[in-house]
Amino acid sequence: MADIPDTVLDEGVTRNRLARVYAEALFAVAAKANRQDDVGAELDDLIRGVLAAKPEVEAFLKNPTVSKRNKGPVIASAFASCSEPVRHLLGVLNENGRLALIRSVAAVYRDLRDTQAGRVRVIVKSAVPLTGEQSDKLKTQLQTSLKKTPVIVPVVDPDLIGGLIVQIGDRVIDTSVRTRIQTLRAQLMERGTSYVLQN
């Protein structure tokens, strides 16, 4: 794997720090009105219902050739139905030339909500969709282990063949058949090489 340039890493760290600053400020405003979940739901809808569904909107927001002066009225009109905190966030991001951070801000805000509520987001990859029974059993096991309420984010990846990959933050538990096969193949190759060298 090629080394990642330090400038790219620095940009990523800076972007994450900036996103956290905006998210924490928004969370504080929402908390004063006891509307953390409402504002979070709005952000989720903004990401899924607008940016993901209409890529041209996100492209417009990120377009550096369109001035913030020209973006301002469009944003105010397009998101007029949003709550004042979310409208204000978009306005501040636009004013500071940081609209490209909106997805990162939403992700950090979601983490803040989860932390406050004692929830933890768990990405679960499986070869086929989990049944309701499997999902409930996994939630119970995770809740016992983590002492927090797990929020399962299911991801279907047929290449796994079977088993699961469970990701909790930076921690990954891999019980997939694909990984077992890869591990077995590596062990067989290592043993084969050792045999050739010894003989």
* CATH topology (fold) of 6-114: Peroxidase; domain 1 (1.10.520)
**pLDDT beyond 90 at 110:** yes
The predicted structure's pLDDT at residue 16: 86
Q: How far is CA 162 from CA 126, 129, 154, 171, in A?
A: 7, 11, 14, 20
- What mean pLDDT is predicted for residues 53-65? 91
- More confident position, 162 or 101: 101
d(CA 148, CA 174): 21
Confidence of residue 98 (pLDDT cuts 50, 70, 90): very high
The predicted structure's pLDDT at residue 192: 59
Query: Could you state, in order of their start, the residue ranges of all structural domains in the chain?
Result: 6-114, 119-198
- More confident position, 88 or 198: 88
- More confident position, 13 or 49: 49
